[in-house]
Amino acid sequence: MPSSEGLLDLMGQMGSVVAGAFARMEIAEKEIDKAKDRHPWKADLVDGAFRKLQPTNLLREASDEVYGLHCAELLDRAAEGVSLVAPTRAEKMMMLRHLALKSPLTEATAALYWRIFREVFPAVTVRGLEGWEPRESYPGELDELDVVVTRTIVNGESLKELRG
């Protein structure tokens, strides 16, 4: 029989998980309301996408702001009738973040991360990087790498091409 201390600890952990789930649901509902304002004639499609807004593993550690941006992108796709299978920019950014925590990124992968970060947070200025533009080794390199990231997330393929 577990101790009362252990049981209280377990209940506290469960409460934290439930509170986190409700917080994410609240963010999703706010983004749904905003998407309905952006796409008033597609409100039924926007409402129908609620179940697709469940955070993926990549987004479990994301800030509320990043999760909200993920929801907004999916809801816009739903309203436009575009597939929701491809990962969002927020998911790609978080995947590259996780990768960077495990090993150094290649120059191209770091450049892709920066490009996605700027797309997700266009108003954010990073001190020391003002005016810096990532350079490709050849035209289209970052687009190719973006396809690799997408394929990796969708299919769970190897990350070898992305590691430094």
pTM beyond 0.75: the answer is yes
| Residue bearing tokens 């927020």 | 90
Per-residue pLDDT reduced to its tens digit, 30-73: 999 999 999 999 999 999 999 999 888 888 889 999 999 999 99
8 Å CB contact between 58 and 66: no
Ranges 6-10, 19-23, 29-33, 106-110: which has the least confidence: 6-10
pLDDT in the model for residue 127: 83
pLDDT of residue 92: 95
CA distance 94 to 63: 10
Instruction: Quote the percentage of the chain above a pLDDT of 90.
Output: 52
134 or 89: whose pLDDT is higher?
A: 89
Residue 17 pLDDT class (50, 70, 90 cuts): low
Task: Report the pLDDT value the prediction gives residue 164, as an integer from 0 to 100.
Answer: 44
Helices (H), the chain: 4-38, 43-48, 64-80, 89-102, 107-120, 141-155
Whether 146 has a pLDDT exceeding 80, the answer reads yes
Checking phi first, is residue 128 left (phi over 0); if not, alpha (psi -120 to 50) or beta?
Answer: left
- Buried b / exposed e along 110-135 (16+ C-beta atoms within 10 A): ebbbbbbbeebeeeeeeeeeeeeebe
Q: Which residues pair with 163 in a beta bridge?
A: 105
Instruction: Calculate the average pLDDT of the chain.
Output: 85
Find, among 25, 84, 21, 90, the residue nearest to 62 by Cα. Answer: 90
